[in-house]
A and B are shown apart, each in its own frame.
Chain A
Amino acid sequence: MTKIVFASRRRVLKGAAALAATGIANVSSGARAQAKGKVVVGTWGGDYARLLNKNVEQPILIKDGWEVIQDQAGDPERRSKMLAERRLPRGTTDLQGLSALNMFQMHDAGVVDAIDYGKLKNAANLLASMKYPYGVGHIYSGKVGVHNPKVLGAAPASYKDIFDPKHGNKLGIIDIQYQYTLVCAALAAGGKVNNLEPGKKLLLECKKAGARIYPTNEAFAQGLKTEEFGTGVMWKARVVQWQNAGIGVQAIVPTEGALAYVSGFVIPKNAPNKAGSYAYLDAMLEKSAQEAFAVDMGYNPTVKNAEVAPDLNKRIGFSPQEIEALVDLDYAYMTQNDVALKEWWDKELKG
């Protein structure tokens, strides 16, 4: 787990510059900064953490006088930490970045606060679907079909076209995406988000026909690049990143409706600085921060006032009809069955 503190050096420099150049006015600003306090945010490492710092923390929070500490780790570790700290009167983080499913699981476990949207000035712009009672959606994308025309001639139009045993070993599946893959396959086979049995059957047929299973998103991308396979499913934002990296793939929004992926933030019940939590949530919903995330990361803004350039929106976004058709997981069903689904995945599909 990595803890990264931002702002100290900046504050020192700011203080020094203030004393030297502008005198009392900026000194009082420094004093105000100290009064704002510290926000500890749990987040994944890598690009997401870097972009939070670049687009949310530095230009908004730190500029406004907050000290921000990122507690970087994978979400399983951070969820475990939240559960382990549940009995403590004061936890160690002020908010945690999680997927919508994980936000629900933490809410279900009783470790997160209900969100008071009255405390968020940017809540008025937040899409209704991103206002969870227990968390705030930060960015979203959808599970689209990935198609490499060099490997597979005709482009698939639906999940049903993608999860077709006739593709043999030209279909790629990502191991760590077992939950979403199962749901996509279920939708392909006529199942529902809370009835994955048809999807299991279809996946077994695809596996029998030679479908390749890749351990991670990165290994999947490598397989696409080397043309080991030609189709699969992935977040549209990732497909955009791969296109930017020179991999010749196309994204296809499936006719069944793309499975939505939402990444957001929750406030642990024992967060030591809840004012800081709300300040962070408001900052991440700022128009400028949301627009910058769309440009830098390829995920869609969750606020209505964010403007995405038409050419970028064409690549990362969804039409109003496609947004309308987005399919959400059944969080309660997935939480109840997650262990059983993973056991099936490991024993039956991969075994």
Chain B
Amino acid sequence: MADATTHRIGEQDGRSSFLSASVLLGPATVVVALGLLLPVLILLRYSFNRFEPRVMMVEAVTLDNYVKFFTDPFYTNIFLTTLRVALGCTVICLVLAFPLAYVLARTESRYKNVLLMLVVLPLFVGNAVRAAGWMTLFGSKGALNASLMGLGLVDAPLQIMFTEKAVIIGIIAVNLPYMVLTLQSVLEGIARNLEEAAFSLGAAPWPMFRRVLWPLALPGILAGSILCFILAMNAYATPVLLGGPQFKMMGPLVFGQFRLNNWPFGAAVAFVLMSATLVLTASANLLMQRRYRRDVGAQPM
């Protein structure tokens, strides 16, 4: 009898927790479904349509747009350039952000909040405005070249504007705060005494970093890297303004196709970009989680 009552109460608890979970999840799910999934599905449908210059979009079910993308070296090169820039920016951001995030996480200075604000400060300015700032710095008569030439370090101005270098610098400047903040919050959760324990057992700084700090920070590294990678893959303003007309990435390519009213091809390019970002992000997530479980799960912490 008691067992039956407990079972019923358990069932009721389960039902009510399911109900409250549904109530809590419902509004957000509806917003996401209407605001994201529905347009994405419409876009997917468009990507199978055909483009006719005077009619713009003709209803069809064809893979022509995808075939065009993957068989034309012009477009596949744009895709590979985007991947290269996104991966490069993510790695550089990680290398630059880790020490900074570590200092921010460990500092007990009363100016810690000010330091955090300084990290966030670049995000107060829009990407386009920030890129405009870089333009004044990188131009052939910009501040950088004027200084280098004034100091006699170079004879002719360096060509930085409208190159891949300029785009990478610009994207790093945009993404770095995201990486720093993500890492800082994770590093703060790793007890300082774990590092001290490693040192007291004779570990040098590098083995301590490799065996203790890195594995424990892996979830933050993964989150920060994914964030940076996604932002870099989808960058628009920075490649357009700093890369110039001859440098191409996927974001501007998508916009360019819609600008030409070629919605079917634009939708197909958008889907290639979205799918590639999703697949690479999911793969990295899976790989890193497996590694995290292996590294951290195997150690008696």
B244–A339 CB distance below 8 A: no
Q: B35 contacts the other chain (Cβ, under 8 Å)?
A: no
A40-99, CB < 8 A from B = 76, 79-80, 83
Min Cβ gap A211→B in Å is 12
Assembly CA distance A87 to B287 (angstroms)? 47
State the CA gap A83–B255 with chains docked (Å): 16
- 25 residue pairs A–B, Cβ–Cβ below 8 Å: A76-B255, A76-B258, A79-B261, A80-B258, A83-B261, A105-B261, A109-B55, A109-B56, A175-B245, A213-B244, A213-B245, A213-B246, A215-B162, A215-B244, A215-B245, A219-B244, A222-B139, A226-B139, A226-B141, A335-B54, A337-B53, A339-B53, A342-B256, A347-B74, A350-B245
The reply to whether B56 and A83 form a contact with Cβ atoms under 8 Å apart is yes
> In the complex, A226→B141 CA distance in Å?
7
Q: What is the minimal beta-carbon distance from B287 to any residue of chain A, in angstroms?
A: 36
- Cβ of B262 within 8 Å of any chain A Cβ, yes or no, is yes
Q: How far is the CB of B180 from chain A (nearest CB, A)?
A: 30
Interface string of B67-99 (1 = CB under 8 A from A): 000000010000000000000000000000000
Question: How far does the alpha carbon of A162 sit from the alpha carbon of B256 in the complex, in Å?
Answer: 28
**Interface residue? B240 (CB, 8 A):** yes
Question: From residue A180, how far is it (CB to closest CB) to chain B in Å?
Answer: 15
Q: Which of A306-343 contact B (CB under 8 A)?
A: 335-339, 342
> At the interface, yes or no: B48 with Cβ under 8 Å from chain A?
no
Residues on A close to B: CB < 8 A? 76, 79-80, 83, 105, 108-109, 175, 213-215, 219, 222, 226, 228, 335-339, 342, 346-347, 350-351
What 19 new A-B contacts, CB under 8 Å, besides A76-B259, A226-B141, A347-B74? Answer: A76-B258, A79-B261, A80-B261, A80-B263, A108-B54, A109-B55, A213-B246, A214-B244, A215-B162, A215-B241, A219-B244, A226-B139, A228-B140, A336-B53, A338-B53, A339-B51, A346-B74, A350-B245, A350-B246
Asked whether B260 is an interface residue with its Cβ less than 8 Å from the other chain, the reply is: yes
Chain B residues numbered 232-266 whose CB sits less than 8 Å from any CB in chain A: 240-241, 244-246, 248, 255-256, 258-263
Closest 8 CB pairs of A and B: A175-B245, A76-B259, A213-B245, A215-B245, A336-B53, A226-B141, A350-B246, A347-B74
Nearest Cβ on chain A to B261's Cβ, whole angstroms: 7
Residues of B within 8 A of A350 (CB): 245-246
Note all chain A residues with C-beta closer than 8 A to B244. 213-215, 219
Partner of B140 from A83, A214, A226, A338 at Cβ < 8 Å: A226
Greatest chain A CB density within 10 A among B54, B56, B245, B263 is at B245
Q: Which residues of B from 149 to 169 have beta carbons under 8 Å from A?
A: 162
A112 to B280, CA, bound (A): 44
Mask of B204-229 contacts with A, CB within 8 angstroms, 1/0: 00000000000000000000000000
* Among B56, B140, B248, B260, contact of A342 (Cβ-Cβ < 8 Å): B260
CB distance from B14 to the nearest CB of A (A): 45
Q: How far is the CA of A335 from the CA of B262 in the complex (A)?
A: 12
Render B32-53 as a binary contact track against A, CB cut-off 8 A, 1 for contact.
0000000000000000000101
- Residues of chain B lying within 8 A (CB to CB) of residue A213: 244-246
Q: Which one of A215, A336, A351 contacts B74 once the chains associate, using CB atoms below 8 Å?
A: A351
* Residues from chain A with Cβ under 8 Å of B74 in the complex: 346-347, 351
Residue of B nearest to A174 (CB): B245
Q: What is the CB-to-nearest-CB distance from B161 to chain A, in angstroms, rounded to a whole number?
A: 9
- Tell me, in angstroms, the Cα distance from A134 to B198 when the chains sit together: 78
Q: In the complex, what distance in Å separates the CA atom of A336 from the CA atom of B56?
A: 10
Min distance, Cβ A185 to any Cβ of chain B, angstroms: 16
Expressed in whole angstroms, the minimum distance between the Cβ of A271 and any Cβ of chain B is 20
B94 to chain A, nearest CB (A): 30
A336: chain B residues at CB < 8 Å are 53-54
> Using Cβ atoms and an 8 Å threshold, which residues of chain B touch A222?
139
Give, as a whole number of angstroms, the nearest-CB distance from B167 to chain A. Answer: 12
Distance in angstroms from A87 CB to nearest chain B CB is 13
Give Cα distance in the complex from A42 to B246, angstroms.
Answer: 31
What residues of chain A lie closer than 8 Å to B261, measured between beta carbons? Answer: 79-80, 83, 105, 338
Chain B residues near A342: list those with CB within 8 A.
256, 260
Do B260 and A339 have beta carbons less than 8 Å apart?
yes
B74 and chain A: residue at smallest CB distance:
A347
Q: Quick one: which of B261-295 are within 8 Å of A by CB?
A: 261-263
A-chain residues with CB within 8 Å of residue B241 when the two chains form the complex: 215
User: A residues within 8 A CB of B259?
Assistant: 76
Taking a contact as CB atoms under 8 Å apart, the answer to whether B240 and A215 are in contact is: yes
- By a CB distance below 8 angstroms, the chain B residues around A108 are 54
B139, B259, B263: which has the most chain A beta carbons within 10 Å? B259
* Beta-carbon nearest neighbor of B241 in chain A: A215
A339 touches B262 (CB 8 A): yes
Inter-chain contacts of A335 with B (CB < 8 A): 53-54
Residues of B within 8 A of A228 (CB): 140
Instruction: Please name all residues of chain B whose beta carbon is closer than 8 Å to the beta carbon of A339 when the two chains form the complex.
Output: 51, 53, 260, 262
Q: With the chains together, A351 CA to B241 CA distance in Å? A: 18
Give B301 Cβ to nearest chain A Cβ, in Å: 52
How far, in whole Å, are A213 and B245 apart by their CA atoms in the complex?
7
CA distance A219 to B246 in the complex (A): 14
Taking the closest CB of chain B, its distance from the CB of A242, in whole angstroms, is 17
Give the docked Cα–Cα distance between A342 and B54 (Å): 16
With A and B bound together, what is the CA distance between A92 and B273 in angstroms?
31
- What distance in Å separates the Cβ of B186 from its nearest Cβ neighbour in chain A? 37
A342 to B257, CA, bound (A): 10
Give CA–CA (A106, B84) in the complex, Å.
Answer: 39
CA distance A219 to B255 in the complex (A): 20
| A83, B248: Cα distance in complex, Å | 27
Once bound together, how far apart are the Cα atoms of A226 and B53, in whole Å?
40
B139 surroundings in chain A (CB, below 8 A): 222, 226
Chain A residue at minimal CB-CB distance from B266: A80
Residues of chain A contacted by B255 (CB below 8 angstroms): 76
The docked-state distance in angstroms from the alpha carbon of A350 to that of B141 is: 24
